[in-house]
Amino acid sequence: MRMDQLPTPCYVVDEDQLEENLKILAGVMEETGCRILLAQKAFSAYGLYPLIGKYLNGTTASGLFEARLGRQEMALNPALAERKLETHVFSAAYREDEFAEIASLCDHVVFNSFAQLEKFRDTAIKHGAGIGLRMNPECSTQEGHAIYDPCAPGSRLGITAEQFAEWTGFGGTREVSVEKKLAGVEGLHFHTLCEQNADDLERTLDAVEEKFGPYLSLPQMKWLNFGGGHHITRKDYQIPVLIRCIRRIQEKYGLTVYLEPGEAVALNAGYLLTRVLDIVENGGISIAILDTSAACHMPDVLEMPYRPPLKDSGMPGEKAFTYRLAGPTCLAGDVIGDYSFDRPLEIGQELIFQDMAIYSMVKNNTFNGMALPAIAFMRQGECRIWKQFGYADFKERL
């Protein structure tokens, strides 16, 4: 069917754009020999994992359920058997009743503290999972809210250089060797970026080498994971700088480099279709109430905050007719934003939000009993519905 025949609200993933993104990522892999994984926290539409798995090296997870999904739907997909795809996981803290299964599913398990390493090291080794530690290079490169900065003061994410030195005794009098203290640890991980370019990565890498270089040089080390937040498929992204960063680590330390972007995989590869339910006026503002909700269906609009692009619209006042677009829930702040149009909006008119594949399906909810949007995949303009949701999906979450 065509896009205008789909029900609303509906997420539509553009497979053609998704594949273009994957080709860019594959080009970086081919140029450098690095390994790139899909961060499922941003995009988990597993119906497209066979396509993603043709280009990338696997998935990364934040816990048990994502680890299961990545292992079952990509790494063990019969169509991708020859690819030998990987499943990695990082969590700020693992549950004791889940960890054995996590270790059995994952090729790499990354710990956030030395306490977690000591608690779960033997189980990880028993199940053949490679062990990594997350570093905190204490190098903030982000502007805006500290909520998105893993290097912000007081961050719970990653082990600082001071904590490394204190725990391992590295550089001082040591009763136990660093190699023994880090037994089983074969890699290090950092994740400090969010929608950023490669110059920020290069700056972060300077801090990583300055503070953790001696650990990267240990004979037992096999890999370094650059984490996510790399906007590699954005038009202005500095791919040559990224390649330089990857080669720097490969050549200096002889390590395999991993990256785990989420947004870059599905950037600009999704839409959210919606319809105008009503138009109300208040204080000279025209407010179009839609059948989609910022709070329920596009949470990043309120959390980031983020103003999603809207097809055939402009900034407020740019075009002749300006409207505030809002959801139908009881939340007073369920507002998507102000947009302008060449012609007045009409009740029943369809609108198309863009760049809505990432952090939408994975974060949506049924507040107010709102139905979850359908999910459709589109290839060369032809759409097929992948999932539809109803009352049972709302009820069974409660």
Domain holding 306: CATH number? 2.40.37.10
Domain end, chosen from 200, 234, 266, is at 266
Rounded Cα–Cα distance for residues 135 and 167 (Å): 13
Per the prediction, the chain carries an average pLDDT of 96
Look up residue 291 and give its DSSP letter. Answer: S
In a domain, 21, yes or no: no
pLDDT-derived band at 174 (thresholds 50, 70, 90) equals: low
pLDDT-derived band at 260 (thresholds 50, 70, 90) equals: very high
Q: Does residue 226 sit in the same domain as residue 275? A: no
Give me the number of domains the chain comprises: 2
Per-residue pLDDT, 22: 98
Range of the domain at 301: 3-10+270-356+364-395
pLDDT one-digit tens code per residue, 85-96: 999 999 999 999
Q: Does residue 252 sit in the same domain as residue 275? A: no
Domain end, chosen from 230, 247, 266, is at 266
Q: Does residue 253 sit in the same domain as residue 299? A: no
Reply yes or no on whether the pLDDT at 175 is more than 80.
Answer: no
Burial class (CB in 10 A: 0-12, 13-18, 19+), 162: exposed
Tokens of 314: 């402009």
Per-residue pLDDT, 247: 98
Q: Where are the alpha helices (DSSP H) in the chain?
A: 15-32, 49-53, 64-70, 96-105, 114-126, 161-168, 178-181, 198-216, 239-253, 263-266, 294-297, 300-303, 391-395
In a domain, 16, yes or no: no
pLDDT one-digit tens code per residue, 338-351: 999 999 999 999 99
In this prediction the pTM is: 0.95
Q: Does residue 44 sit in the same domain as residue 115? A: yes
Tokens of 94: 């693992």
Q: Does residue 212 sit in the same domain as residue 145? A: yes
